[in-house]
Structure 1
């Protein structure tokens, strides 16, 4: 019985033939992602925005009256609430800002949540409270700063590691690929206004790890082939390296997607953002390893003699002396 092979052994796809169009598309997507982040912003959860989140369900109704809830809660004087469906159509999360005097005052925060719940139950006695989370503005600001530092540190450590293991050109290529992956993930959250919380930071760090692993596999094969095929043109050598690692890349990505896609469609609402980020990260991470990390080596002047040791003047003199002595 023959083993199933998703990628034939003699695969010879000319990936780098389309490197310029794909790079242009990727740069446009990166620019569009950051434009969305800067214009629409991210839909911060309570972790990052601060304030209070109350999750409620209307047990006797098929659908939560979002417009009515927005008017009722807004009339309490705590600013415009952010009300979103959370799980089933009759479940919502209500986020409100806390007044400055509630900073560091748990009693006042609890009083505000009791007022909101009482206002909801006045017109909807069937309301069930599923959870209340409160985060102060100071703590949420610390969370945001630490999250940014974690992402920057992960990307910098990745680039440094690849720089030390390979050459500086490889470090630049890996860093650009990671920047591409993170940018597109942030763009998706800005476009669809999915809740951006600490869970999503964990997902982005997982994406960085996956993309790095995929990139290292490709780079390791490129380095081996640079030493093996000294006279092969660099474009053909990169295509060869990508094709040789393609079976591993496809199997790894497919295995992860088989586990994640059912969770994306049938899992709990609380994990939707986390799962969506990782699923997107698998696609863009695989894409960036092939079309971002590999082609940039051409423009950074990596060639087939990049890993050939340079002959010093002393070594050259010794070699010439040995050659004369042997004549």
Structure 2
């Protein structure tokens, strides 16, 4: 499929910047109010996943939790022949046995998966997750600066941070659980987004090499030409990966649901940012270089 129409992405970027800034501000507000719904991976406590042969209601399980003396520390989430009980305190061997015995009185074939994280481990996992994202960003800055130039690197990092933050904001707004799989999804999104951005930047660099750009208008035309040349490639790549992630979310198990959802959201913003954030930002930085060159140029006597 080919389109002969060429889009003016420089003109469109004025509106996409406003859109992205508004989303970022909304995300910051939501994060400051709600924070993140940390899973047991990042929050001390115990998470009990129960596989059942029949459906149990919250009302049936609540008395068992009350007898354990943990009614205020427990969140009960029933599902289809499953139940998840999250405790903000670490279960002792006694309370663990008490819970299992109570549930098995209601369903003899019930099986349990208990994940426990202590306070120090939760803090360490949180720090390591932040370090992983920061180290990835630093590595990308170094790579893009060597491969291209610092203007490309700065534009790419801003676009990557935009993508990652949008996923975090969506999870905060809808109170979705943030676990280790979420961090893996964010790192995967960063990898996908930088790949898509590099492809567009590579075409810009090639067109710069063979073109003569003397004015800001010339640079804008070059950027529009480069993005239009890579537009369908970006759409096809994003669409194929999006379809796979979407069906993983719809048909996949509970263990990968949040990973798949983070991928779906991140892929959409990744494709968007490569075209509407990274490339226009590079143009802004390049135009400043042109302006500074003119100012620095001595006048003829």
The residue aligned with 2:98 is 115
1:303-314 equivalences under 5 Å are none
Deviation at 1:74, TM superposition (A): 4.7
CA, structure 1 residues 55+212, in 2 after alignment: closer, same or farther (shift >3 Å)?
same
**Using the alignment, how far apart are the partners of 1:156 and 1:75 within structure 2?**
51
The structure 1 segments of at least 4 consecutive aligned residues displaced by more than 6 Å after TM superposition are 303-306
Counterpart for residue 155 of structure 2: 173
Report what 1:322 is aligned to.
none
Shift of 1:265: 0.9
- List aligned pairs for 1:1-327, cutoff 5 A: 5=1, 7-8=2-3, 10-61=4-55, 64-66=56-58, 69-70=61-62, 72-74=64-66, 76-78=68-70, 79-85=72-78, 88-98=79-89, 109-121=92-104, 124-126=106-108, 128-231=110-213, 233-302=218-287
Structure ID, larger Rg: 1
Q: In 2, Cα distance between the equivalents of 1:226 and 1:205?
A: 31
8 A Cα contact 2:73 2:89, kept in partner: no
The size of the alignment, in residue pairs, is 288
CA distance in 2, matches of 1:155, 1:22: 23
| Cα distance between partner residues in 1 of 2:62 and 2:26 | 31
Compared CA separation, residues 277 and 97, structure 1 to 2 (3 A):
same
Cα offset, 1:271, TM superposition:
0.9
Q: What CA RMSD, in Å, does the superposition of the two structures yield over aligned residues?
A: 2.4
Q: Give unpaired runs (5+ residues) of structure 1.
A: 100-107, 309-327
User: In 1, distance between residues paired with 2:236 and 2:107?
Assistant: 52
Question: 1:82 offset after TM fit, Å?
Answer: 2.3
TM-score by length of 2: 0.87
SS of residue matched to 1:26: helix
Cα distance in 1 between the residues matched to 2:136 and 2:62: 40
- Cα distance in 2 for partners of 1:177, 1:71 equals 50
Aligned partner of residue 113 in structure 1, secondary structure: helix
Q: 1:253 offset after TM fit, Å?
A: 1.3
Cα–Cα, structure 1 residues 111 and 165, in superposed 2: closer, same or farther, change >3 Å?
same
Counterparts in 2 of 1:225 and 1:74: CA distance versus 1, 3 Å:
farther
1:304 deviation in Å? 9.5
Q: Which residue of the partner structure matches residue 103 of structure 1? A: none
Pick closer, same or farther for the CA change 1:29–1:80 going to 2, 3 Å: same
**Aligned-pair CA distance for 1:166:** 1.6
> TM-score, normalising length from structure 1?
0.81
Question: CA deviation digits over 1:8-53, x for unaligned, max 9?
Answer: 3x34122221111110110111222232223212221211112111
Q: Work out the CA distance in 1 between the residues paired with 2:158 and 2:5.
A: 27
Structure 2 unaligned blocks of 5 or more: 294-301
Give the direction of change, closer, same or farther, for the CA distance of 1:38–1:69 in structure 2 (3 Å limit): farther
The 1-side partners of 2:86 and 2:254 are apart by: 17
Question: Counterparts of 1:303 and 1:228 in 2: how far apart (Å)?
Answer: 21
Q: What is the CA distance between 1:234 and its match in structure 2?
A: 1.6
